[in-house]
Amino acid sequence: MARIARLPDSIANKISAGEVVQRPASVVKELLENSIDAGADKITLSVKDAGKELIRIVDNGAGMLREDALLCVERFATSKIIGVEDLDSLKTLGFRGEALASISSVSHFELKTRTAKETLGLRFRYEGGVLAEESGVQGEQGTTMSVRNLFYNVPARRKFLKSNATEFQHIFEVIKSFALAYPEIEWRMYNDDEELFHFRTPEMAERLNFFYGSDFSDSLIELSEENDYLSIRGFLGKPAMQKRKKLDQYFFINRRVIQNRMLSQAVQQAYGELLVERQAPFVLLFLEIDPSRIDVNVHPAKLEVRFDDERSVRNMFYPVIKRAIQLHDFSPDLAATA
Ligand code: ADP
Ligand code: MG
């Protein structure tokens, strides 16, 4: 007797949700990526109970037509690629069409959306991935996604969520990196109904000082260099700022937040002896490279990219960092008093 049965979508989505959605912060990351991909320049995040009770993202992006709004929660349904070859010229943050299927299957999910063309918006409510209600709503152009009671139907997962302080910290890290990577977007965040920030202008200094303390931006080295192959822009911290063991290190490749060993090591080497043992300098660097030279499809949460020619990237990257550091006088005396 044959024993294999195809799992229904509702179960398959729930199982694979484990890869995409580990915790509230992963939901926040996926939803923010979608809002950016939809062209929003105003994004508001609200969380309650560290995202365990509610994660809501309001954007003023393109919105969706009814047909798309119904499809967007299906697995492998995406407007961002048509074929595998599109991954070579990817301009969007998303491409797998998995996030909303996963998120909606493990939460009480509500989607409101309106395109510029429609006068009335649409609202869809899902319970565990099943459409429970559809109605029309008044509302601005754009999309609002509300994720309630994450993992309500996956008790094992829910149980493994950490304290509110920890889960909130993860969420905050995510939105912080987006707010730094996308200065042109007006970001706003609420935690349990209290406004934490609202960045109305693209001023980087305002954001850096908010996240790292007043005057932080004054003590950064700004750099901007490019050749045919790679463009590098951003900020480097002075070694003297390394009071704590590790400040943040951000690498954005084509506006995607990523971790990359080669880049971190190159930075570490460029600072070299300026760093006291085990210090890692603050860096916030935007790299732009032809999308065909990187593979973004190597990590479930898209946190890593692979370069087609890592050596060339390093050969260009390292001297730029080294030179920027050398141009500034980081003599130990200054460092000690800074
Ligand atoms: P992906 O981002 O990989 O395409 P998702 O599951 O995250 O997959 O989203 C599915 C689709 O839903 C997207 O391709 C997009 O067309 C649509 N979508 C999701 N979020 C938004 C949004 N905030 N505004 C407009 N369209 C959206
Ligand atoms: Mg997405």
CA distance linking residue 9 with residue 74, whole number of Å: 9
Tokens linked to 269: 């080497």
CA distance linking residue 239 with residue 338, whole number of Å: 10
Backbone angles phi, psi at 77, to 5 degrees: -105, 115
Contact 106, 153 (CB under 8 A): yes
CA distance linking residue 287 with residue 226, whole number of Å: 9
Q: First-to-last CA distance in the chain?
A: 76
Per residue in 26-70, pLDDT (tens digit) is 999 999 999 999 999 999 999 999 999 999 999 999 999 999 999
CA distance linking residue 3 with residue 240, whole number of Å: 65
Q: Is the CB of 239 under 6 A from ligand 1?
A: no
What pTM does this model have? 0.92
Question: Residue by residue, what is the 3-state secondary structure of 85-112?
Answer: HHHHHCCCCCCCCCHHHHHHHCCEEEEE
Q: Is the CB of 99 under 6 A from ligand 1?
A: yes
Domains of the chain: 9-199 (3.30.565.10), 213-337 (3.30.230.10)
Query: For a pocket test of ligand 1, which of 28, 70, 72 has the largest count of ligand atoms closer than 8 A to its C-beta?
Result: 72
CA of 107 to the centre of ligand 1 (A): 17
CA distance linking residue 76 with residue 12, whole number of Å: 12
The predicted pLDDT at position 335 comes to 46
| Banded model confidence at residue 241, pLDDT cuts 50, 70, 90 | low
Spatial neighbors of 329 by CB under 8 A, at least 6 apart, are none
The predicted pLDDT at position 14 comes to 87
| Banded model confidence at residue 289, pLDDT cuts 50, 70, 90 | very high
Size of the chain in residues: 338
- The rounded percent of the chain whose pLDDT value lies above 90 is 74
Rounded to the nearest integer, the mean pLDDT of the chain is 91
